[in-house]
Structure 1
Amino acid sequence: MHLEKATTADFDRIVEILQDGRNQLAEQGIDQWQGDYPNPTHVQEDIEHGYAYLVHSDDDETVGVFTIMPSPDHAYDELDGDWLVDTDAYLTVHRVAIHSNHAGHGYASGLFTQMVDYIKTHRTDIKSIRIDTHEDNQAMQHLIVKSGFKEVGKLHGVYRKDETCIVYEYLTGN
């Protein structure tokens, strides 16, 4: 597998994969992404700013997506917790999804491994990587922790009223 920056030609596939992710969460009874987030406007902005990435299988099929945003990420302004490092030199990962047709093949783990390795190697200015997920999304929480991230706190009502998210951070060692 490999990661690649998305282009405007990838818009429809990204929207499709995020919708599939929304459906997967709903089927599991997880209230994450069940509102207007993420939406096509987010996807368009992610592509235009160069934040959107694709996950490709070895035969070059797009199987997943994610976004890497530069700091500051104001979603974290009201963190109920403490960062591992007080820095503005961080990136935030959002909107991670692997299409259900490709679940269980290690793409999500590979995404995290390749993303972290790339940032550590090519973005030596970056001190940490931050990510959050819904408090009920146990699978994503497991993946994040398995990938070396540490839980640092919670967000309350940032994405939707009455929603709590668990926040994690990874120190790059840079």
Structure 2
Amino acid sequence: MKFVQAKEEQLPEIINLYDNVVQVMNENGIDQWGEDYPNPDVLKRDLEEGNLYLLKKDGKIAGAVVLNKEYEPEYKQIPWQDRSGNFLVVHRLCINPSFQGQGISKILLDEIEEFAKTHGYSSIRLDTYIPNEKAMNLYEGQGYERRGKFYFPTHQEPFMAFEKELIHS
């Protein structure tokens, strides 16, 4: 498997990936994402800013994620452990539905952690919709610690903020 920065010519495939993921999430009663998000404009911006990364397996996109230092205003109320200001934020992490159930999400999180360490970050922050039990269990199982609940105005249910402090070897 390869963890690579997305290229412009991959954008149609990436948009299709997120559309498929949203459909599967909605079919499973998880309305974390919808038709309006993540939309092609958001994904195009991620790509143009160089923040969109892919996990490729056998030439296909197995997973995708956006990595940067940007965060939502709601993050300001969270009691983060790492106060250095040197954190990486994970956005729009998804696994291709045809690769789900193969441990790809754990591999992608390992790649994100390696990326963060290589680039000198001291911690990783991310969040997920609390009704998304698979994601909640995944993050806790990979050593991420719950830091607090918050609400986005577009959702009825809360989100959980997670953090993982990194140990550099």
Which residue of the other structure, out of 100, 104, 107, is the alignment partner of 2:101? 104
Q: Give the corresponding residue for 1:30.
A: 30
Q: Give the corresponding residue for 2:20.
A: 20
SS of equivalent to 2:33 = coil
Distance of 1:20 and 1:112 partners within structure 2: 21
Distance of 2:30 and 2:72 partners within structure 1: 24
Q: Deviations over 1:134-168 (max 9, x none)?
A: 1100001111111111000112125x143411110
Q: Answer yes or no: is 1:128 the counterpart of 2:123.
A: yes
CA RMSD after TM alignment:
1.6
Distance of 1:117 and 1:140 partners within structure 2: 20
Q: Give the corresponding residue for 1:46.
A: 46
When the two structures are superposed, what TM-score results if normalisation uses the length of structure 1? 0.89
Distance of 1:118 and 1:91 partners within structure 2: 9
Alignment CA distance shift 1:69-1:75 (3 Å)? farther
1:1-174 matched pairs, under 5 angstroms: 1-57=1-57, 59-71=58-70, 73-79=71-77, 81-120=78-117, 122-124=118-120, 126-157=121-152, 160-174=154-168
Deviation at 1:118, TM superposition (A): 2.5
Matched positions, count: 168
Deviation at 1:7, TM superposition (A): 1.3
SS of equivalent to 1:41 = helix
SS of equivalent to 2:146 = strand
Deviation at 1:4, TM superposition (A): 0.4
Query: 1:139 is matched by which residue type in structure 2?
Result: K
Distance of 1:161 and 1:33 partners within structure 2: 10
SS of equivalent to 1:36 = coil
Query: 2:159 is matched by which residue type in structure 1?
Result: C
Q: Deviations over 1:19-66 (max 9, x none)?
A: 111111111111110251111111011001111011111x22212111
Distance of 1:62 and 1:77 partners within structure 2: 30
Runs (4+) of structure 1 exceeding 6 A deviation are none
Query: 1:157 is matched by which residue type in structure 2?
Result: F
SS of equivalent to 2:147 = strand
Deviation at 1:87, TM superposition (A): 2.7
SS of equivalent to 1:117 = helix
Distance of 2:80 and 2:141 partners within structure 1: 19
Query: 2:25 is matched by which residue type in structure 1?
Result: L
Query: 2:59 is matched by which residue type in structure 1?
Result: D
Deviation at 1:17, TM superposition (A): 1.1
Query: 1:86 is matched by which residue type in structure 2?
Result: R
Distance of 2:46 and 2:73 partners within structure 1: 16
Alignment check: 8 A CA contact 1:78 1:155 kept = no
